[in-house]
Amino acid sequence: MFVLGFPLLLIPFAIYNIIAFLTPGVSWTAAVSTVHMMSGQDWVLTWEDLLIAFSVLLLAVEIIKSTRIGMRAIIDHMLAMLLFIAMLVEFLLVDRAGTSTFFLLTMITLVDVVVGFTVSVRSSQRQVEIESERAA
């Protein structure tokens, strides 16, 4: 399957950068929709809320992907680590990435890296192979 060697969290990273750099007039806090709750409260849904929610859903898929063992999983973990480093550097050095939305995207990517390596190590420890002895 193609998605195994591709860090899915690259998608929200790319969406953020496209909107932040190509359309600087777009406000992340602009209301997309307002939902009138049964409690009487109005829930205002913003673009940053949608991007973070989408990223959390992709994080769930990444965690499921991290349970696989093999060369593609190792490459996927390395690419996730590179993505986290790139996001961290951009957060620290680029003024348009210095927002709470981008910080949360960076933390979601960090969780992907840590959980990915942890799940892979734990699942590889449980994989036991028993060799049968051949009669001489």
- What's the rounded Cα separation, in Å, for the pair 107 and 12? 13
Ordered by start, the domain boundaries in the chain are 7-126
Instruction: Output DSSP code: residue 96.
Output: G
pLDDT of amino acid 119: 81
Question: Which tens digit of pLDDT belongs to each residue from 1-40?
Answer: 444 567 899 999 999 999 888 887 878 888 889 999 999 8
- What's the rounded Cα separation, in Å, for the pair 108 and 56? 7
| pTM over cut 0.85 | no
What is the H or E stretch that residue 33 is in? strand 31-36
Question: Which tens digit of pLDDT belongs to each residue from 48-87?
Answer: 999 999 999 999 998 888 877 777 777 888 899 999 999 9
Instruction: Output DSSP code: residue 40.
Output: S
